[in-house]
Structure 1
């Protein structure tokens, strides 16, 4: 009985099992599909309201350096054309274009043969004048003074002898005078006696002859006395001169003569120094450290400073061009010049080295503006403090950023968020449904990637970064349209819409 019942139950069980499992599988698949559909619907329905947030940033407060941007040019502080003072022949040129030279380094040598003879002659004149001055300054030698004393004594002796001779001659004249008077009286008496017959004619003649002889002797004595007196006067004058010579010899030379000799020395020394200076000018030296930027003449060329420098002319006005330390000259707008001060820091950016900013500080602010095409700017000169390798070259165009101050609690947005519409500056902010709308703002200073918002936003507001109206429509954010503030909604959408907002670049990650 048992075996029969077992065999009959097995077939019925096999028929009922598959019938029960098949509905269960179907139900499970339907449940899974329902769950997946719900999840897909949930994510799809919510993606439009959340994806737009990843393209926004919060407006935050923070510190920012206030910078003034301007364009500039690299220029040398000193730039000259080195020339000789006078026309001459270049004997030797020691530098070439591109050489870096130090202050005082020899650049060239001029022919100096014509100066050497003149210098020797001038040196001889100077030495002669110096000897004369020293001679007058030291006075007479003792031997010369002794000679003057001897001459003075001799003159006195001659005067003394002349005085004695004069005295003797005066006595002779006096005696001759008396004798002449006596003989004249005797002759007169003999003449009377002859007339009376008391004397003979011979006696009268003898008396008259004697009177004539004595008168002749008197005249000769007077003439000799006059000559002696004249000689005495001359001897006295010579004695006085000898005495004065002795005094001068004892006193030395006059101060005026010494001064005159000294001035002659100075004049001779000046002439010599002038020639030596011309000789030194034949050595052309660098007036300051720098680099040789141009070469206008070679050895053997004649340089004439009065002519213009030209490579095709027979002569040139310069030998080389020398540029000194480089500086940056920026053109700062009139509205910003009041914020620039001496010593202010500056950042210098060059297209040749975009990843390597240079730094310096303001050294000079031009007192006069430069007007170019109705734009008023001021030249601001700055140093270049950290270009030790000489990367910046004269003539390079650069950008300058002057650090004009610091704002510690400024409202900041990324600079890329700033757009403009119809000449108005603003940002794109999201509405509740994620649609962007243009909001005008007043911006302040910009420093690198951040800009100060002075009015129009609050701390914590969201703004779109790098989005445009076309980009939002293409990605299907919100209803795909831009509000009327953006320039005409759907009707003004695209590039041909009614006054659409200005587009800014869209990141590659937009919407992905």
Structure 2
């Protein structure tokens, strides 16, 4: 018998849970949540060691070369601004900027037209002094003696003539005195006779003096020149020669020469300019408006080393040099000089240290900025960690050290020297400790 199911009976059958939307949504949430948790657990198990290695590094024992850092600049070993000793007109300039010159090479010439006539005059004066000295040294010729003798005889004749005249005037004076007493002549006439007598006496005295002088000169002519006269003539000649030398030096000073071999770094004047001497002829920066040119020789580094590091700098110490213009190259040098006196700039005390270049002379140029690393003593078996691993907690310096579970623990340490990106650990850590170089995600254990 066939059973017929009515529509009313079909509606009374139980419905499945799969047909309910809310049940499907809940089931999907449960399944997805469980899968995500399982994935996180597996990922944590697989990536935990790798993640720890990325964030940590081991404490190592290695040799550490101490390096003292400082800044510096490239400067010439020798530099000088050339200027004339006396103000004047520059008539000739023989070099250009960048030219290489040798020691003693003529660089420029100043006007010396006013000195040439002075030189000729001094030379003529010296020639006259030399001739006079030769005459005194050679003595008098027979002709000179004969001339002196003739002058004596002439003087003697004038004396005799003066005596004869005086005798006549004496007799006339005596005779006219009697006539004047008798009143035969006037007083004026007697005064004329008396004046004539006195004139004759004066002429006799003059003639006698001339005779004495002529006689003395005759004796000197016969005996030759005196030692005093020769000495005086020698002094006059020496003075004349010195005058020549003074003018020659002045002329030589108008020729500007290179004091040493080097390069013309600056040119300050051209031919025709009026140039004056300068008191700053030698300067570090080689710049002055009164100079003709600036010349420099060689290159070295002047570094400014902080006061706290100067005790570690020694003469001959090796230096690594990095110029801003060549950041990828390391040049070599050695300490040549340590300044005995500190300089203070903006309340910072430092010492100038001069470094001789061993490499890079063909690349570095004056004025370039450089960073220097002075190579100090080597520390053997030093415990080192990356500098970024050093942290501070509650005022203490230390390291974040990973324990067996990978959690970080703060460990106070004593640090030493820092070289490049590594820092020496004096106490508080040991070789093999794993220190965090990146901040850990887990909470740090104190």
TM interval, short-chain normalised? 0.5 to 0.7
Relative contact order (C-alpha < 8 Å, sep 6+): which is higher? 2
**Distance of aligned partners of 1:443 and 1:323 in 2 relative to their CA distance in 1, 3 Å threshold:** farther
3-state SS in 2 of match to 1:383:
strand
Determine if contact 2:264/2:294 at 8 Å carries over to the other structure: yes
**Distance of aligned partners of 1:77 and 1:483 in 2 relative to their CA distance in 1, 3 Å threshold:** same
3-state SS in 2 of match to 1:458:
coil
Matched, 1:468 2:399: no
Q: Distance in 1 between matches of 2:322 and 2:402?
A: 36
Question: What TM-score results when the alignment is normalised by the length of structure 2?
Answer: 0.66
Deviations 1:346-366 (A, max 9, x none): 222212112222222223333
Give 2:138's aligned residue: 139
- Structure index of larger Rg: 1
Post-superposition offset of 1:336:
1.3
Give 1:123's aligned residue: 123
Post-superposition offset of 1:297:
1.6
**Distance of aligned partners of 1:281 and 1:234 in 2 relative to their CA distance in 1, 3 Å threshold:** closer
Determine if contact 2:144/2:221 at 8 Å carries over to the other structure: no
Give 1:430's aligned residue: 402
Q: Distance in 2 between matches of 1:233 and 1:452?
A: 111
Deviations 1:267-313 (A, max 9, x none): 2222222222222222222223333333222122111336999xxxx
Post-superposition offset of 1:429:
2.3
3-state SS in 2 of match to 1:364:
strand
Which stretches in structure 1 are left out of the alignment for 5+ residues?
Answer: 1-39, 160-230, 310-314, 474-480, 486-512
Determine if contact 1:344/1:402 at 8 Å carries over to the other structure: yes
Task: Tell me which of 353, 356, 360 is aligned to 2:329.
Answer: 356
Q: Distance in 2 between matches of 1:446 and 1:131?
A: 85
Matched, 1:378 2:378: no
Give 2:48's aligned residue: 48
Post-superposition offset of 1:84:
1.3
Compare the two structures and name the one with the higher helix fraction: 1
Determine if contact 1:58/1:461 at 8 Å carries over to the other structure: yes
Give 1:199's aligned residue: none
Which stretches in structure 2 are left out of the alignment for 5+ residues?
Answer: 1-39, 157-206, 282-287
**Distance of aligned partners of 1:69 and 1:306 in 2 relative to their CA distance in 1, 3 Å threshold:** closer
**Distance of aligned partners of 1:444 and 1:267 in 2 relative to their CA distance in 1, 3 Å threshold:** farther
3-state SS in 1 of match to 2:245:
helix
Deviations 1:363-420 (A, max 9, x none): 333333233333222222222232331x223332211212232223322334454455
Deviates more, 1:405-414 or 1:419-428: 419-428
Map 1:166-177 → 2, pairs under 5 A: none
**Distance of aligned partners of 1:445 and 1:365 in 2 relative to their CA distance in 1, 3 Å threshold:** same
**Distance of aligned partners of 1:318 and 1:264 in 2 relative to their CA distance in 1, 3 Å threshold:** same
Q: Distance in 1 between matches of 2:235 and 2:77?
A: 44
**Distance of aligned partners of 1:372 and 1:133 in 2 relative to their CA distance in 1, 3 Å threshold:** same
CA RMSD of aligned residues (A): 4.1
3-state SS in 1 of match to 2:329:
coil
Determine if contact 2:148/2:221 at 8 Å carries over to the other structure: no
Matched, 1:246 2:218: no
Post-superposition offset of 1:483:
0.9
Task: Tell me which of 377, 388, 401 is aligned to 1:405.
Answer: 377
Give 1:326's aligned residue: 299
Deviations 1:142-180 (A, max 9, x none): x44x9649988x999xx9xxxxxxxxxxxxxxxxxxxxx
Matched, 1:444 2:405: no
**Distance of aligned partners of 1:416 and 1:265 in 2 relative to their CA distance in 1, 3 Å threshold:** farther
3-state SS in 2 of match to 1:355:
strand
Determine if contact 2:67/2:374 at 8 Å carries over to the other structure: yes
Compare the two structures and name the one with the higher strand fraction: 2
**Distance of aligned partners of 1:57 and 1:130 in 2 relative to their CA distance in 1, 3 Å threshold:** farther
Pairs aligned (count): 352
Matched, 1:337 2:310: yes
Determine if contact 1:364/1:381 at 8 Å carries over to the other structure: yes
**Distance of aligned partners of 1:328 and 1:425 in 2 relative to their CA distance in 1, 3 Å threshold:** farther
3-state SS in 2 of match to 1:262:
helix
**Distance of aligned partners of 1:234 and 1:93 in 2 relative to their CA distance in 1, 3 Å threshold:** closer
Q: Distance in 1 between matches of 2:245 and 2:61?
A: 73
Detail structure 1 runs of 4+ shifted over 6 Å in the superposition: 40-44, 149-152, 231-241, 306-309
**Distance of aligned partners of 1:462 and 1:243 in 2 relative to their CA distance in 1, 3 Å threshold:** same
